[in-house]
Chain A
């Protein structure tokens, strides 16, 4: 019957049971008809299609460079080693030039290799969190640039990378939180009973855990633990242990929030300028950022997405203005992409 056969012909096939069957068949057809009026929202359907397409292309891209051989088993290190070699063999000017490369440009692979090398040689969780935060923002700007040019496939692939960076940044921040709370328990446990909390003069796990190779590009390796140890006045100004305990993690989280706000602003801006067919790709990137950011407790990046609104009652803090007080090279390179989408 559901293949187009009429009720009458069904009943004719079962004459003895016809009287009993008829109301049931009509009821069944009625349920089916009623249910079919329910359709998914077209924009949701389009978004999932885009996401699947992005995931498929990304998986395909991931599979391609993997060739059997000695390095296949140690892919991470092999890739880092290759990246290091690329950096060594490539002139510094090429590496520098690649930092602004867009996904459709030949130098983009150098850019990715450089990033991968940095990630591999960043050992501290805080460093990783910073680096992934920065890379996520870079990816967002690349998506915006690709979408403006109508390169949807590229945008979809980079969106998957963006999601990975955000996830990694969140994971690293969580690890910092755990490490710090463990360290503070360890520190305070024996003498904590009477003493007023000591201002955190040092953050041992941070300083020891990061023997970063900062020598090459100190400004890009925001992963390094530099700024935190040089804030004694802020540390002494906070008398409560609870705030100092996870200060580092909070800073990282705030930095991530600020970064995602900037990314969202860039993507929303691009959405206004992008051709119509590229808009779903941008929406998908915006949703990805919202989705990943919402995982964190106090985060509410000011998104206007339907998904965000649906799920979270849309409590928007408009933090779209970049509030960073310490401009760095990362930002300026990102800015270049933003200002000059069509390189």
Chain B
């Protein structure tokens, strides 16, 4: 049993410290993944909170044999985002104004990072939804290919192909942007 499986098992048994470790390990990743999907800080915060509340309530039903924990957790996050997008009426938002979330004091550095995040978000939005999903889970949430495959219920081959195409397209979009 891997260390993570062990921690998850303890969390299922109600060990507070174990759940806290899981929280520390995944909170930022889940937040980041959601942020890049919804592109709004307030919404990302609400959804992240919901994901962890759902995870806490449902952790007893998680079965380690069926999927890695990361896949199970990101499946909840993925479903939250899908539900949110479905419900959401299309309205204009101001992502840059709200997208703080950088732990830095220097305003110049903050602005630079905001711009980078914004550019990446904009580029990501240009990809087809399936590629967006895979790129977000792989590069933003940092999941393995197998975990992404389980999260999205697709084969590893499909994920690899989507990742390849997504990365190539994203690179092209960003290169084009920088070259003019």
Contact = CB atoms under 8 A, between A and B. Distances in A.
A115 B20 CA distance: 34
B56 A55 contact: yes
Contacts, number: 98
Given A38-B102, A52-B56, 20 more contacts: A2-B144, A23-B171, A24-B164, A28-B138, A31-B140, A35-B139, A38-B113, A39-B102, A39-B103, A40-B27, A40-B101, A41-B100, A51-B53, A52-B19, A52-B23, A52-B53, A53-B16, A56-B16, A60-B14, A311-B42
A68 interface: no
A38 B104 CA distance: 11
A45 interface: yes
Contact of A56 (B19, B35, B171): B19
Given A45-B27, A56-B16, A56-B19, A34 B120 contact: yes
Interface string A39-55: 11110110011011101
Interface in B36-76: 36, 41-42, 44-45, 48-49, 52-53, 56-57
Nearest to A44: B45
Interface residues of A, number: 31
A34 B27 contact: no
Nearest to B30: A40
Most buried by B among A27, A39, A310: A39
Contact of B167 (A24, A42, A51): A24
Contact of B53 (A31, A34, A55): A55
B23 A49 contact: yes
B16 A41 contact: no
Interface of A: 2, 23-24, 27-28, 30-32, 34-42, 44-45, 48-49, 51-53, 55-56, 59-60, 307, 310-311
B82 interface: no
Nearest to B16: A56
B142 A310 contact: no
B32 A35 contact: yes
26 contacts: A23-B171, A24-B164, A27-B167, A31-B135, A31-B170, A32-B139, A32-B140, A32-B142, A34-B119, A35-B32, A35-B36, A35-B120, A37-B102, A37-B113, A37-B116, A37-B117, A39-B31, A39-B32, A40-B27, A40-B28, A41-B100, A44-B45, A49-B23, A52-B53, A59-B57, A310-B41
Contacts of A56: 16, 19, 56
Contacts of A37: 102, 113, 116-117
Contact of A42 (B20, B53, B103): B103
Interface in B149-169: 164, 167-168
Chain A to chain B: the 4 pairs with minimum beta-carbon distance, closest first: A27-B171, A35-B140, A40-B31, A31-B139
Given A31-B140, A37-B117, A56-B56, A48 B27 contact: yes
Given A40-B48, A55-B56, A60-B14, A310 B23 contact: no
Contacts of B113: 37-38
Contacts of A45: 27-28, 31
B69 to A, nearest CB: 16
A34 B49 contact: no
B174 interface: yes
